[in-house]
Amino acid sequence: MDVSVIIDNGRPWAEIRELALAAEDLGVHAVYVCDHFMEHRDDDRTDDSPFLECGTLLAGLAEATSRARLGALVMGSTYRHPAVVANMVATIDHISGGRAIAGLGAGWQVNEHLAYGIDLLPPADLSDRFEETVAIVSSLLREDRTTYDGKHFHLIDAPNKPAPVQERLPILVAGGGEKRTLPTAARYADVWHVWGRPEGFAAKSARLDAACEAVGRDPALIRRATGFPTPVGTDLRAALEPYREVCDEFVVFDWTDRPMRSTIDDLEAALSVGTA
């Protein structure tokens, strides 16, 4: 089981860089950041806390680090045209020397959509847009030219040059929706991610297996990634042991209001389980 970390975008850049380098030195598989423009609030009000944008943050981390994979967990489909996403990820792949992950999600956080006037879309339309986004990003990262005629997007013989450094840059599809998201992951994903506890994640993973079989794809081709937020002081060695049986990658949470040392301690504990 690989161990990765998602670093809080609310930290100052100097702390994010320091944490990423410490995580890389410890041997994490990947360093992730989220794709939001402000902190989530349950009451959907605008939040004024500082929050760094994920694409430019990943470009900075690509230059600062040297080994760990880098990706968003995950880029929301409502914020950018998929051609912009594909070009961003390919550029990060070049800056990092072939370490980028294309993390893709539908989008969900209400307060930032309201504040910036971004249309969140009804659930069915959001699923349509997300499925089209994954298809287009996958094609742009893997084919010389892409033509696509969908409900939300239209591309005509579109290139994405330079192509990524990686021959097959990993597409990570996030979400557990069984009617739309899991079939999308079954068709396009190299990595599938959803947050959860071991039993629930295992059940969702089995449904992804079924979705793969429905489209004629080997389920073993898709890595399974998950994680669960744990309070400071949790015995991660005990908490993570059940995950070894159900996932390929566990993502450790970082929070801006906790000491960096706590995140590093959690990573050390998690890595002792992952490599045991």
> What CATH number does residue 260 fall under?
3.20.20.30
Q: Rounded to an integer, what distance in angstroms lies between the CA atom of residue 116 and that of residue 63?
A: 30
- Whose tokens are 């068709």? That residue is 187
Structural domain including 173 reads: 2-274
pLDDT at 236: 86
pLDDT at 230: 84
pLDDT at 175: 95
Question: What's phi and psi for 225, nearest 5 deg?
Answer: -130, 140
pLDDT at 47: 87
Report residue 29 CA to chain centroid gap.
13
Q: Could you tell me if 93 and 169 are in contact, meaning their C-beta atoms sit under 8 angstroms apart?
A: yes
Q: Which two tokens stand for residue 41?
A: 């609030």
- 3-class SS at 223? strand
- Whose tokens are 């959907």? That residue is 44
Would you call the peptide bond into 5 cis, given omega within 30 degrees of 0 as the criterion? Answer: no
pLDDT at 275: 61
Q: Phi-psi bin for 256: left (phi > 0), alpha (psi -120 to 50), beta?
A: alpha
The pTM is what?
A: 0.94
H-helix segments, 46-148: 54-64, 82-96, 110-116, 123-142
Number of domains comprising the chain: 1
- Per-residue pLDDT in tens (0 to 9) along the chain, 276 residues: 999 999 999 999 999 999 999 999 999 999 999 999 989 998 989 988 999 999 999 999 999 999 999 999 999 999 999 999 999 999 999 999 999 999 999 999 999 999 999 999 999 999 999 999 999 999 999 999 999 999 999 999 999 999 999 999 999 999 999 999 999 999 999 999 999 999 999 999 999 999 999 999 999 999 999 999 888 778 888 899 999 999 999 999 999 989 999 999 999 999 988 665
